Copies of this chain bind each other. A is one copy, B any other.
Amino acid sequence: MKVIVIGGVAAGPKIASKIIRNCPEAEVTIVEKGEFLSYAGCGLPYYISGEVKEQKELMATAVGTVRDSVFFQNVKNVKVLNHTTATKIDRKNKKVIVKSKDSIESSLDYDKLALATGANPVKPPIPGINLKNIYSLHGVEDAEGIKEKLSQHKAIDAVIVGGGLIGVEVAEAITESGGRVTIVEMLPQILPMLDPEIAVLVEKHFEAKGVRIMTSTKVMGFEGKDEVQKVTTDKETLNADIVILAIGVRPNVTLAASAGLEIGKTGAIKVSSQMQTSDPDIYAAGDCVECQNRITGKPCFVPLGSTANKQGRVVANNICDNNDSFPGVIGSSVCKVFDFVVARTGLGEKEARDAGYDVVTCLAPAPDKAHFMSTMKPLLLKLIADRKSRKLLGAQATGPGVADKRIDVAATAISAGMTVDDVANLDLSYAPPFAPAMDNIITAANVIRNKIDGLMDGITSAEVKTKMDNNEDCVLLDVRSPAEFEQMRIEPCVHIPLGKLRNNFDKLPKDKEIITFCKISLRGYEAALILRNAGFKNVKVMDGGLLMWPYDKIME
């Protein structure tokens, strides 16, 4: 069996290696247009920051073996044609036409073909886009260019166009290397996979670290003579010694499309759950294919190295007649933003509403370990669930605390179709250095259960702000201690510490809406229950408490 694999970065080498493991007699050839094989593209921001010292570490296995052509030939028995471009697929005769470095064309026969052609960074036709020192972060060469510039003088002005995952990671890397960074994002928030109230916390953390965030801002052009010097936006003009384009990537489907393979709605190659294209002898995997969202069943384009690896295995198994299928993704992602972890999985709040769910959410800020441990750090966890089925649909978390653990548990629970009741009863590992006795995700699941069961009526800080701005006739009730109140508060509000609430009902109007809160709204919840029981009919709890209030506060 002759197998040709086009693309040698992530999915490609995985497909090739796994085929050889399954069917050692197969003849497998990887065609790669660049020099490098199997390098960790997602490590590039850490190469820029200096966290990764040498380029070759990104290309080595965990035990330090560099995965070059010789390695693939000797160890894996896979032939590698690097510096070689596949120019055409002749499906009828089952041939791939390739062109070598020195432009010599040849043709390779295949029984099965696997496409792992990846994705290319979006490079919009903005004036000046071809000036020097404007980079995408797509390959080792880009990273080298950025490092070179940073090594010349540290305090460079860097403008990052696009506030997605890559933009955010590069912003941190350049800031840590001494650069002054501005992120310019066209949308009203950075990290569009996050719900707005989570994204705003990340933006504030960036600003605290000296990174300027310009949202709802459009880049109009790049100026400079030979090298970029300025970035013009619809708001102002920014100095720029260097520009990183991180607007996103587009699946590289040229070869597939010209061969007449079906392209999906997202613009990526359409594949079955067996990772088979519309031609049964051609498979595809990685950043060039369309995935299915496991929750909604809808096609999506979420290029990630972790997904590429899983899909590669499925391709190899099916090529070797070991039936295997890829169940799709649920949109899990994580990134580090200085001292914050930012992670999410499943459907966001709006996505869930758009998909027709009766959405109920909660914002649970809590310590990520037993609150008495000095290693404890705050973590904000948002859960999104369906009122009717009680199923968990999504989770988002940020803060200095351990977010990725809770998001991975949520990802597992969502994949299994668990309800919030199931999640609340999970037997998660507990000891004070690792979690509170009630893990953050269990507490959050219980808040959702309370809401669904009618024990609690939540209101978001954004809704409260609107009421305040419109001078609506409601009472904001702060039930924190006097010391906490002195230190920081929002006004106008009524302040009655929780312990004194039962003796002060006369200070509150029975006929008005009362919105209770405390630091995190746990005492706020207790207060709402006390008031309800005392005959107050219209009581709501502000989600996430003062900790999640993103607007002005009066500080001591």
Contacts and interface: CB of A to CB of B under 8 A. Distances in A.
Interface of A: 10, 20-22, 24-25, 40, 42-43, 46, 51-52, 57-58, 60-63, 65, 70-71, 74-77, 165, 169, 294, 304-310, 313, 322, 326-336, 341, 343-345, 366-367, 370-375, 402, 404-405, 407-409, 411-413, 415-418, 422, 424-439, 442, 446, 453, 455, 480-481, 484, 498-500, 502, 518-520, 522-523, 525-526, 529-530, 532-533
Contact of A427 (B308, B322, B330, B430): B330
A520 B62 CA distance: 10
A488 to B, nearest CB: 13
Copies of this chain present in the complex amount to 2
21 contacts: A21-B529, A25-B533, A42-B370, A46-B432, A51-B374, A51-B375, A62-B436, A63-B480, A63-B518, A306-B430, A313-B446, A326-B425, A329-B427, A332-B430, A333-B430, A334-B431, A335-B431, A344-B429, A404-B434, A405-B405, A411-B427
Contacts of A522: 61-62
Contacts of A65: 481
A370 B40 contact: yes
A530 B24 contact: yes
A519 B366 CA distance: 41
Given A404-B434, A502-B74, A413 B411 contact: no
Given A373-B52, A438-B306, A498-B75, A429 B333 contact: yes
A437 B306 contact: yes
A430 B46 contact: no
A304 B430 contact: yes
B334 A434 contact: yes
Nearest to A442: B310
A327 B407 contact: no
Nearest to A54: B372
A331 B429 CA distance: 8
Nearest to A437: B305
Given A42-B437, A415-B422, A499-B74, A429 B453 contact: no
A432 B334 contact: no
B372 A437 contact: no
Contacts of A57: 372
A532 B10 CA distance: 27
Contacts of A366: 62
Contact of A430 (B305, B413, B416, B425): B305
Contacts of A329: 427
